[in-house]
Structure 1
Amino acid sequence: MDHVDKQILYYLQSQARISMTELGKCVGLSQPAVTERVRRMEEKGIIEEYRTMISPEKIGKRAAAYILFRTRECHAFLDFCRSSPDVIECHRISGEHNYLLKVMTESTRSLEEFGNQCDKYGTYTILIVMSSPIDTKLLIPSLEEASAIAELD
């Protein structure tokens, strides 16, 4: 993956609906050339999928929390997590707990109800998100950010 591929990824991760013509202009390539590079990165699995970011608040998901979970009933717990619309992420982790969940619900009351449903699977600690000063960062930095990072090294 060369510098141009990283530029392409930078633009796609921040605006996945950009046209290939516009993307080509941004990175200094023709539309067919940039389309071919994107196709190759898709085939190699570098680009896995394209997504739409939805505002949780606009669809009624006003309470977010991370839950540290300890269970001996891993299969049953994972089945529960897969079937729950409130579980946004589930990660197997090391240490005192086996799982880290990201959960989004309508309210802190419904978050409490979610916790009550979890009781039968093990023990947990709920960490309620108060704010997200850094919500999501891009994996590929802009050219300016990459240059600043390189100067620090």
Structure 2
Amino acid sequence: MDNLDKQILLVLQEKGRISMTELGKEVALSQPAVTERVRRMEEKGIIDHYRAIVRPGKINKPITAFVLFQTKGCESFVQFCNESNDVIELHRISGQYNFLVKVVTETLQALEVAINEMGTFGDSTTLIVLSSPIENDKLIPLIKN
């Protein structure tokens, strides 16, 4: 990865729907050259996929919480989280807890229900988000020489 790839990634993270022509103009490359670089990064798995970022509050899910979760039944807990409409992220972590779960709900009561349902798999600590000063920030790639 060189500096041009880094510039391309930074632009794509900010403007995922940009045309290859416009992307080329932003990084001073021709449309075919920038298209080829993007294609290579997609093939290498550097660019995983493209998607829209949905603001939970705009779809009537204003409550966000992180649940630190300890379970002995990891596989069944992962399956439960996969099937839940409220779980939007699940991370296996080290330490006292073995999962970090990001949950979005429409009300505090719905959050309580979600936590109670998770409780059948183990113990948890819930952290309710008050605000998010930084969300979905760009990843800045390191350039290898």
Q: Which structure has more RCO (C-alpha within 8 Å, separation ≥ 6)?
A: 2
CA distance in 2, matches of 1:28, 1:107: 48
| TM-score normalized by the length of structure 2 | 0.94
RMSD of the alignment, in Å? Answer: 1.3
| Structural mapping, 1:3-152, within 5 Å | 3-140=3-140
CA distance in 1, matches of 2:9, 2:135: 19
- 1:151 is matched with which residue? none
CA distance in 1, matches of 2:40, 2:73: 42
Partner SS state of residue 91, structure 1: strand
CA distance in 1, matches of 2:114, 2:122: 13
- 1:150 is matched with which residue? none
| TM-score normalized by the length of structure 1 | 0.89
Q: CA deviation at 1:77?
A: 1.0
> Match of 1:14, as an amino acid?
E
Q: CA deviation at 1:104?
A: 0.4
Return 5+ residue gaps in structure 1 as ranges. Answer: 147-153
Q: Percent identity?
A: 58
CA distance in 2, matches of 1:102, 1:70: 14
Return 5+ residue gaps in structure 2 as ranges. Answer: none
> Match of 2:124, as an amino acid?
Y
Partner SS state of residue 50, structure 2: coil
Partner SS state of residue 113, structure 2: helix
Q: CA deviation at 1:30?
A: 0.7
